[in-house]
Structure 1
Amino acid sequence: MVQSSSENDTLRAHFMFTTRPEIVGTFGVAASTHWLATQTAMGVLERGGNAFDAAVAAGFVLQVVEPHLNGPGGEVPILFWSERERAARSVCGQGPAPALADPEALRKMGMEMMPGIGLMPATVPGAFGAWMTMLRDHGTWSLADVLEPAIGYARDGFPLVPRISQAILAVQALFRDEWHSSADTWLPDGKVPRPGSLHTLPVLADTYTRIVTTAIAQSDTREGQIDAAMRCWYQGFVAEEIDAYCRNTPVRDTTGEKHVGLLRFEDMEHWQATVEAPVSLDFGRYSVAKCDIWSQGPVFLQQLGMLRHAGLEAHAPTSPEFVHTIAEAAKLAMADRAAWYGDPRFVDSPLAALLNPHYLASRAALIGDRAALTMFPGALGGRAPRMPDPAVAERTLTAADTRFGVGEPTFAALPPVTEWAERELFVGDTCHIDVIDRHGNMVAATPSGGWLSSSPTIPSLGFALNTRLQMTWLEPGLPNTLAPGKRPCTTLSPSLAMRDGEPYMVFGTPGGDQQDQWSLAFFMRHAVHGMNLQESIDAPAWHIDHFPQSFWPRQTTLNRITVESRFPAATIEALRARGHEVRVGDDWSEGRMSACTRERDARGRLVLRAGANARGMQGYAVGR
């Protein structure tokens, strides 16, 4: 592909002065959404651990220091490259629905949609099993060593970033009036903690310490202790406490009523994380790997396939042509997501048809000069697409109690302005971590779920459960309709790219429905226009809304594009002239990308690079 033009050279010159340098080293690199997690990963590498040890240690730290974005009761998909095996793998840390999650039974209770908060939407919490599986099979460090940083921050204290205080402020009434265990955890002395103050999570520290102590008592080998830890979680005291709390604690949720949870010990004791071959698609020199169709990862690949011959190299990344073309490809891919994506263990997966070059070429042919105003999923193999009924979301929202929040806080409206809280500030919903070590091992992971505001703290464990079942439908006959044992189609979507047949990049971002939009545009800026990692992250970004939202109340918005105000005024006006409903956001409001790369220089030495997002002032990349 053409790497530059006079227009692109001008743009590159503009972005040479980035918010921070692209990190370059030969020993190791790490990038994440929080500086403490990044530094934890780098510290593990410095002390002889590999990328798998580093990512696991950082992942558990993220549960502590970004509790509004993920937690121990959440989930994580992981993509990694093993240099020893010379292979890429996907770890599915997305737990399934409980046996009691019967959509017909819920409809008989008067529900048309799974609540967005509370105990009912919980799946088996898969993050612990996914991290432990990768650590056991590919790491070198012990259970105690990888959990030590997270336990230390939970017991001794970690600084609250402003968004944590804002998240607590937004739900303080819910905590005080209803979720008293959460008030005990997040309202010290009955007050919302101030940004920058040190906060402790002693009960969570005790939970992880008990797991380590039990595991060491049960085995004297590294692998045996990790297996014992997973038994503690899924067949031991953690599963028992989750079962007891879900059975016996009615919790108020978005229905306005109180419900007990559906998750039981039996759901957890038979579950384990699975390791799979990722799905991939070629794009010029690159081949991008994503998780299977139980995630929204194939949305990225569908866009890649549509954009193979779009001529994006001729259009600068801030031009209306660049933004319009990618936005229209995203509309088509997201329509297919709504019509076809679901757990392939339960539905006939059309993934091969969705990624077929002829199908993607036919979809690309639908991209014109004007913005599409309707959703248009494709027909596959003679089967007509089936879309969710948008009226369900409207009826659900009309009847719901939204005083205590909605399903997911990516663009949550915050309380009135105080001296340290702003209204409608981007607060995020997820985390991300990338690591590459000196051996060439690579990890990309996107932890989420178990947000402090999504479900009450389980008093005996010190953490909340996830609410991932809100991403399913109770409407019969859809590929993502709720069923016992079925995984909800998650938005979580790490990425791994090969270049010229060699492992090259791990990258990703939080952002729910925006993840495979922000990461796709980042990739295009880097792969097509040759911008370095930090330039590609810092460049003005956008997202579209043109699909049923993945989170409660699942409303459908059409033909809206939100762009950062740093875009040229001429681009914004040109997009409006093409028929887009354009909303202009703040200067630095779109995306929380991070990325790491590896490549050999002319002498065969491994050169490592990293970049991280400046938006929100907490993502960092490090390396040496």
Structure 2
Amino acid sequence: GVASLMILGLFDRLGLSGAALDGFDHVHGLIEATKRAFLKRDAHVGDPDRMSIDPVSLLSDEMLDQEAAKIDMKTALSWPHVAKPGDTIWMGAVDANGVAVSYIQSIFWEFGSGVVVPETGVLWQNRGSSFTLHDGPNQLGPGRLPFHTLNPALAKLNDGSVLTYGTMGGEGQPQTQSAIFTRNVMYGQDLQEAVTAPRWLLGKTWGEDTTTLKLENRFDPGLIEQLKSAGHTVEVVGPYEDMMGHAGGILLRKDGVMEGATDPRADGAVAAL
């Protein structure tokens, strides 16, 4: 969650309000913000009782200014990043009273821990695999909590609207969130269009072993070439890839009208009851 907020905070500091939607500055800026956020996340985030810093400090003006200054808007930061696989779904709901919920569930790995509680049939999750024997916030020990990628998002906007949104996809969660949020909130793109639009994924995800910057082939070829020229190791994939996550969202506008969006990459749905 703190990584998702860092990405948006860093991107905001790049001063790209006039950049073209899904143009080089927009996409490259978010990718590079993702790298800076993931580096901080991996160094510090884990069991809250074991962390050496207050996670709120990662969102301070000083920290965001410092990290944003390290972003080169012409050249990609050398990468890869080791990702963690997962098995997750996201759901959102808004009721007639305007109560909005963003919810995410995961058993981690395709069959979780592989252990079923006989009396219930419940499959146990496998987040304990994120523990390590090394010193730090994720060191294995009694009563400790493991790192995980889950972060359902909900935004209260300045105009009174509420946006509940999210996705599955391990490392891709903060990246997809940043794409949807900036497209819809900062660029004014329709929510469904923001979810449907081509997406990118930096690093590994479940079912994939490469750490490249993966781009759906619906992106403008000129943008793809610009990203390659900037030093990104680009891998062009299909038009609507499962690896890009299964995103969705509900926007409760200030006039009471609700807008819903579901991902064409998955079998989700938007329903009004």
Q: Same fold (TM over 0.5)?
A: yes
Task: Sort the Cα spacing of 1:568 and 1:503 in 2 relative to 1 into closer, same or farther, 3 A.
Answer: closer
Give the Cα separation in 2 of the matches to 1:573 and 1:509. Answer: 28
Check if 1:372 corresponds to 2:21: no
Give the Cα separation in 1 of the matches to 2:37 and 2:232. Answer: 17
Check if 1:621 corresponds to 2:270: yes
Give the Cα separation in 2 of the matches to 1:366 and 1:497. Answer: 27
Matched with 1:584 is 236
Give the Cα separation in 1 of the matches to 2:197 and 2:36. Answer: 24
Q: Give yes or no for contact 1:430–1:447 (8 Å, CA) kept in 2.
A: yes
After the TM superposition, which residues 86-165 of structure 1 pair with which residues of structure 2 at under 5 Å, given as runs?
none
How far does residue 585 in structure 1 lie from its aligned partner after superposition? 1.3
Give the Cα separation in 1 of the matches to 2:205 and 2:48. Answer: 18
Check if 1:469 corresponds to 2:146: no
After the TM superposition, which residues 558-569 of structure 1 pair with which residues of structure 2 at under 5 Å, given as runs?
560-569=212-221
Matched with 1:524 is 182
Task: Sort the Cα spacing of 1:339 and 1:550 in 2 relative to 1 into closer, same or farther, 3 A.
Answer: farther
How far does residue 501 in structure 1 lie from its aligned partner after superposition? 6.8
Matched with 1:479 is 137
Matched with 2:65 is 361
* Amino acid in the other structure paired with 1:585: V
After the TM superposition, which residues 266-281 of structure 1 pair with which residues of structure 2 at under 5 Å, given as runs?
none
CA deviation digits over 1:272-295, x for unaligned, max 9?
A: xxxxxxxxxxxxxxxxxxxxxxxx
Matched with 2:249 is 595
How far does residue 506 in structure 1 lie from its aligned partner after superposition? 0.8
Check if 1:315 corresponds to 2:19: yes
Tell me the SS of whatever aligns to 1:447. strand
Matched with 2:2 is 298
Give the Cα separation in 2 of the matches to 1:490 and 1:356. Answer: 22
How far does residue 600 in structure 1 lie from its aligned partner after superposition? 2.5
Percent identical pairs in the alignment equals 30
Tell me the SS of whatever aligns to 2:125. coil
Matched with 1:445 is 103
How far does residue 550 in structure 1 lie from its aligned partner after superposition? 9.3
Tell me the SS of whatever aligns to 1:336. helix
* Amino acid in the other structure paired with 1:486: R
After the TM superposition, which residues 194-343 of structure 1 pair with which residues of structure 2 at under 5 Å, given as runs?
297-343=1-47
CA deviation digits over 1:361-416, x for unaligned, max 9?
A: 1111111110111589xxxxxxxxxxxxx8xx9xxxxxxxxxxxxx846xxxxxxx
Check if 1:457 corresponds to 2:161: no
Q: Give yes or no for contact 1:436–1:442 (8 Å, CA) kept in 2.
A: yes
* Amino acid in the other structure paired with 2:75: R
Higher CA-based Rg: 1
Give the Cα separation in 2 of the matches to 1:485 and 1:576. Answer: 46
Check if 1:536 corresponds to 2:204: no
Matched with 2:258 is 608
CA deviation digits over 1:9-49, x for unaligned, max 9?
A: xxxxxxxxxxxxxxxxxxxxxxxxxxxxxxxxxxxxxxxxx
Give the Cα separation in 2 of the matches to 1:311 and 1:469. Answer: 40
CA deviation digits over 1:118-147, x for unaligned, max 9?
A: xxxxxxxxxxxxxxxxxxxxxxxxxxxxxx
Decide which moves more: 533-542 or 497-506.
497-506
Q: Give yes or no for contact 2:88–2:108 (8 Å, CA) kept in 1.
A: no
Matched with 1:500 is 158
Task: Sort the Cα spacing of 1:442 and 1:572 in 2 relative to 1 into closer, same or farther, 3 A.
Answer: same
Q: Give yes or no for contact 1:335–1:375 (8 Å, CA) kept in 2.
A: no
How far does residue 451 in structure 1 lie from its aligned partner after superposition? 6.1
Matched with 1:571 is 223
* Amino acid in the other structure paired with 1:352: V
* Amino acid in the other structure paired with 1:467: N
Q: Give yes or no for contact 2:216–2:240 (8 Å, CA) kept in 1.
A: yes
Give 4+ residue runs of structure 1 displaced > 6 Å after superposition.
Answer: none
Give the Cα separation in 1 of the matches to 2:109 and 2:62. Answer: 41
TM-score, structure 1 as length reference: 0.41
CA deviation digits over 1:147-178, x for unaligned, max 9?
A: xxxxxxxxxxxxxxxxxxxxxxxxxxxxxxxx
Give the Cα separation in 1 of the matches to 2:130 and 2:109. Answer: 15
CA deviation digits over 1:91-124, x for unaligned, max 9?
A: xxxxxxxxxxxxxxxxxxxxxxxxxxxxxxxxxx
CA deviation digits over 1:37-70, x for unaligned, max 9?
A: xxxxxxxxxxxxxxxxxxxxxxxxxxxxxxxxxx
After the TM superposition, which residues 20-59 of structure 1 pair with which residues of structure 2 at under 5 Å, given as runs?
none
Matched with 2:56 is 352
Give the Cα separation in 1 of the matches to 2:187 and 2:22. Answer: 11
After the TM superposition, which residues 366-405 of structure 1 pair with which residues of structure 2 at under 5 Å, given as runs?
366-368=70-72, 369-374=74-79
Q: Give yes or no for contact 2:172–2:205 (8 Å, CA) kept in 1.
A: no
Q: Give yes or no for contact 2:85–2:205 (8 Å, CA) kept in 1.
A: no
User: Which structure has greater helix proportion?
Assistant: 1
* Amino acid in the other structure paired with 1:372: L
Give the Cα separation in 2 of the matches to 1:318 and 1:442. Answer: 28
Give the Cα separation in 1 of the matches to 2:9 and 2:221. Answer: 30
* Amino acid in the other structure paired with 1:436: V
CA deviation digits over 1:486-529, x for unaligned, max 9?
A: 11121001011011274511110000111011011110001111
* Amino acid in the other structure paired with 1:562: K
How far does residue 352 in structure 1 lie from its aligned partner after superposition? 2.8
Matched with 1:415 is none
Q: Give yes or no for contact 2:11–2:33 (8 Å, CA) kept in 1.
A: yes
Task: Sort the Cα spacing of 1:550 and 1:352 in 2 relative to 1 into closer, same or farther, 3 A.
Answer: farther
Q: CA RMSD in A?
A: 2.4
Matched with 1:434 is 92
How far does residue 538 in structure 1 lie from its aligned partner after superposition? 0.6
Task: Sort the Cα spacing of 1:485 and 1:594 in 2 relative to 1 into closer, same or farther, 3 A.
Answer: same
* Amino acid in the other structure paired with 2:116: T
